[in-house]
Structure 1
Amino acid sequence: MTSTGAGACPRCGETTVSTGEAMPWCAACEWNLDGYDRARQAPEFGWAWIDRRTHRLAARLTRQQYASLVDRALESPGLGPAGVATAAASLLLVAGVLALAVIGVWLLFAYPFPNIALVFGVAMIALAVALRPRFGRVDPELEVLSKDAAPELHALVEEVAAAVGAPMPHVIGVDGSLNAYATQVGLRRRRVLALGLPLWGALDGQQRVALLGHELGHFVNGDVRRLVVTQPALTMLGNAADLFRPVDSNRSGGLLEMIGDALGRMLSWILSRLLFGGHLLLVVTALRDSQRAEYLADEMAARVAGTDGATRLLDVLLQSESVSQTVRQAARNAQGPAAWRAGVARSSTSAAHVLPLLRQLTLREQASLFASHPPHGLRHRMLTARTWQDSRVTVTETRNDRIDTELALHYERVSRAIAWSG
């Protein structure tokens, strides 16, 4: 998987390296890690020259953010400048939709019935309803676990939440994804913790503690993606762009009708693109603050699980494809989470020599203006550059097994689903 490159680094003279046919880079001084590897990175805008420039911009911003945070305390200061700008945009958008609704209602009653103003009033009210802010709901695919059904898991979540100073989730659930997330839904912002069983089952005790510490940390780290005051900016313009996107029509008609249809589609396309451009600008702005929040969530993971547990979790997430294959093979052999953990541990041990290069490569391949997370390599580097931390919550293998016993029926369902998938 690893090889030396074609020559010496032009910056420091060391031999370049590569892995998985990636463009060579220098492991010593990290030359060429800000380069755009078109063969391995998915296009974001579709034009190579734009993708190349935005990638370099994202790489520069990502490194600058890391440099600004690595030597100072990672405590949540509330909304940063990007978060404040996002919140201000949200307030303006909500005010605009409210004004649209108010004017629409006024037009319904301002003139004697019948009148043409009714048409405009109904249209404005309908548009306000379509553009209203949406605050999400619990995923219907999530299997919600009550405290009676999973007391050991709830007890562990409560212990970790207390250790990181986070409130308990209102909803704890599991699904079949190789993922985990914490979010807030509804206008009342109900807290939801979702654990993907293929990931959860593949982690050892301290990695599980780190995962919980990271996800629960999102309830207190000021992440703009989870705040009610910033949600409208992240969704409303995108919804408006979809609403005004022109729809293909196969209607036939006269010349005037065809010209009118063409003009209408052109105006709709222009408006849709302008709205989508505004949406992208707000998302890119907000995600700068979101990446800062991810570093803080990692710090909370290290605080509760120890630096060792948090960094080992990041390495497992870095090898998600390998983890997925290991879990799928074990599921096909009718083996449960204990075998998943053993397989992932063996895989991590065998890949130990290449992990430093894989972490470095993420600085190139995970740099994006639209990335909600910093590259894995910088997240790992941030934790190891700071004061080493011991764990505050320890999960033994016996406790791990008790939690898995509570989830046995859910593991069986997920195992059947993934055994022959992909």
Structure 2
Amino acid sequence: MINTVTGTGACPRCGTTTASLRDAVPWCPGCEWNLDAYDPGRREREFGWTWIDRWTHRLAFRATGQQFRQLLGRPLGDTGSGTARTLTAVVSLLLVTAVLALAVVGGWLIVAFPFPNLAIVLGVAMVALAVALRPRFGRVDPDLEVLSRDRAPELFGLIDEVAAAIGAPVPDVVGVDGAVNAYAGAVGVRRRRVLALGLPLWGSLTAGERVALLGHELGHFVNGDPRRGLLTQPAFTTLASAADLFRPVRTTVGGGLVEMVGDALGRAFQWVLSRVLFGAHLVLVSVALRDSQRAEYLADDLAARVAGTTAASDLLDALLATESLTLAVRVHARAGHGPDRWRSAFTEARAASGDRLPLLRQLSVRDESSLFAAHPPLGLRRQLLAGRPWQDPSVVLTPARLERIDAELTKEYARFRRTVEWSG
């Protein structure tokens, strides 16, 4: 439940009455004084030390705002090699080269010396480390219910239209799941394109918002997001995997003084190495995610191109209200109702909270600013759309076609409702 508090005091900068939502630290809705405040009661700890989390939050808030101002009113379609993208690609290449070197040198040590030999032990360890650190390119989520064109021709037809409108390739795999979310990505060395639609979200959106959702997700196939690139993806995982491998584990129990001292020194070395690797991972990811956030802005622009500015903006507002969406879906799914009732209930909830939307958009900037966030705050994403040229929809989903698409997913909706009922 969202509680709104006004009259909590006067802004010391402009005199406007401050406001608060959801027990947040008050801020000024006029000049946004104190919007950058660190609110420990509403944020998960990133490092565990309050003073560090406060400092990194301020850094993230400033970096997020600076990027927004740089992109406001500028073309977003250039996915060329910026500084962040170049650095990510170079580091990924170096990491992959290092892993290959480990494997090659380790293999040479195994075959170059006669058995038994300590060099062979070192070689086996190096090969094992290379295998553990090898790039992983993901696979299709086993919980995803994969659809076929024969099974859902209307949905696939809509996906084809949206992809053509924004110049994106069609996904190789389309599926649904029970998440209040949707995502698009590439898996495997061949980078098979996957589109996943969460049924609670998909069923609760209006026709225009569904087109915008498809436009945004398919836009990830052409917006240059480094998280999805074959050449840049290793930068997001390799150093973290190495830090986890070197995390100290106590292996000696009892034993003499020499064993205890050796174990303590070994664990101290592992601790330092693990922290250095993890620190390097955090720095690299925080830099790479700046480009991911730019890619999200571009995906929003592509959504507006295909669904129109109004529908794309409404979609972002819907994502701000996922708490209300989840409640509406659960209540009506347990009552045996389908997506038509979810949609009307969610529409009613959004209309009832319409006066709080401007505050929710502002609060999202505080809540969602992070050095490790792949998405910019929803409030800034909507503001950037509002500052760009107005766009009319190029693909229109009619009510009749929407009903046919939902009819194709009848079994999947029913399966989701049973899951909600069983979950209590």
TM class by shorter-chain length? over 0.9
Pairs within 5 Å for 1:111-150? 111-150=113-152
- The match for 2:53 is 51
User: C-alpha displacement at 1:420, in angstroms?
Assistant: 5.1
- The match for 2:28 is 26
2:243 paired with 1:241: yes
Match of 2:305 among 297, 303, 306: 303
1:157-212 deviation line (CA, Å, top 9, x unaligned): 00000001100000001111110000001111110000011111111111100000
Q: Percent of aligned pairs with the same residue?
A: 63
1:239-264 deviation line (CA, Å, top 9, x unaligned): 11111112245732222222222222
1:310-339 deviation line (CA, Å, top 9, x unaligned): 111111111111100100000110000000
Pairs within 5 Å for 1:248-327? 248-249=250-251, 251-327=253-329
SS at match of 2:29: coil
Distance 1:60 1:97 in 2: 36
- The match for 1:11 is 13
Do 2:250 and 2:263's aligned partners in 1 also have CA atoms closer than 8 Å? Answer: no
User: C-alpha displacement at 1:43, in angstroms?
Assistant: 1.6
- The match for 2:403 is 401
Distance 1:418 1:312 in 2: 27
2:419 paired with 1:417: yes
Pick which of 77-86 and 236-245 moved more: 77-86
Whichever residue aligns with residue 154 of structure 2, its letter is E
Distance 2:6 2:408 in 1: 48
Q: Compute the TM-score of the two structures, normalised by the length of structure 2.
A: 0.97
Match of 2:38 among 26, 36, 48: 36
Whichever residue aligns with residue 296 of structure 2, its letter is E
1:4-49 deviation line (CA, Å, top 9, x unaligned): 2432211112111111221111111111111111122222111111
- The match for 2:158 is 156
- The match for 2:362 is 360
- Call closer, same or farther: CA 1:195–1:58 in 2, change over 3 Å: same
Unaligned runs of 5+ in 2: none
Do 1:5 and 1:18's aligned partners in 2 also have CA atoms closer than 8 Å? Answer: no
Do 1:328 and 1:420's aligned partners in 2 also have CA atoms closer than 8 Å? Answer: no
Match of 1:64 among 63, 66, 81: 66
Do 2:102 and 2:130's aligned partners in 1 also have CA atoms closer than 8 Å? Answer: yes
SS at match of 1:94: helix
- The match for 1:224 is 226
SS at match of 1:17: strand
- The match for 1:334 is 336
Pairs within 5 Å for 1:176-187? 176-187=178-189
Distance 1:31 1:53 in 2: 18
Whichever residue aligns with residue 235 of structure 2, its letter is A
Whichever residue aligns with residue 156 of structure 1, its letter is L
Q: Compute the TM-score of the two structures, normalised by the length of structure 1.
A: 0.98
1:64-97 deviation line (CA, Å, top 9, x unaligned): 0000001111113323211110110000001111
Do 1:76 and 1:220's aligned partners in 2 also have CA atoms closer than 8 Å? Answer: no
Whichever residue aligns with residue 377 of structure 1, its letter is G
SS at match of 2:193: strand
- The match for 2:386 is 384
User: C-alpha displacement at 1:355, in angstroms?
Assistant: 0.5
Whichever residue aligns with residue 180 of structure 2, its letter is L
Whichever residue aligns with residue 259 of structure 1, its letter is V
User: C-alpha displacement at 1:309, in angstroms?
Assistant: 0.6
Runs of 4+ in 1 over 3 A off after TM superposition: 419-422
SS at match of 2:397: coil
Q: In angstroms, what is the RMSD of aligned CA positions?
A: 1.2
| Matched residues, number | 422
Do 2:252 and 2:259's aligned partners in 1 also have CA atoms closer than 8 Å? Answer: no
1:359-402 deviation line (CA, Å, top 9, x unaligned): 00111111110111111110010111111111111111211111
Unaligned runs of 5+ in 1: none
Do 2:106 and 2:122's aligned partners in 1 also have CA atoms closer than 8 Å? Answer: yes
User: C-alpha displacement at 1:3, in angstroms?
Assistant: 2.2
Whichever residue aligns with residue 17 of structure 1, its letter is A
Do 1:314 and 1:376's aligned partners in 2 also have CA atoms closer than 8 Å? Answer: yes
Do 1:14 and 1:28's aligned partners in 2 also have CA atoms closer than 8 Å? Answer: yes
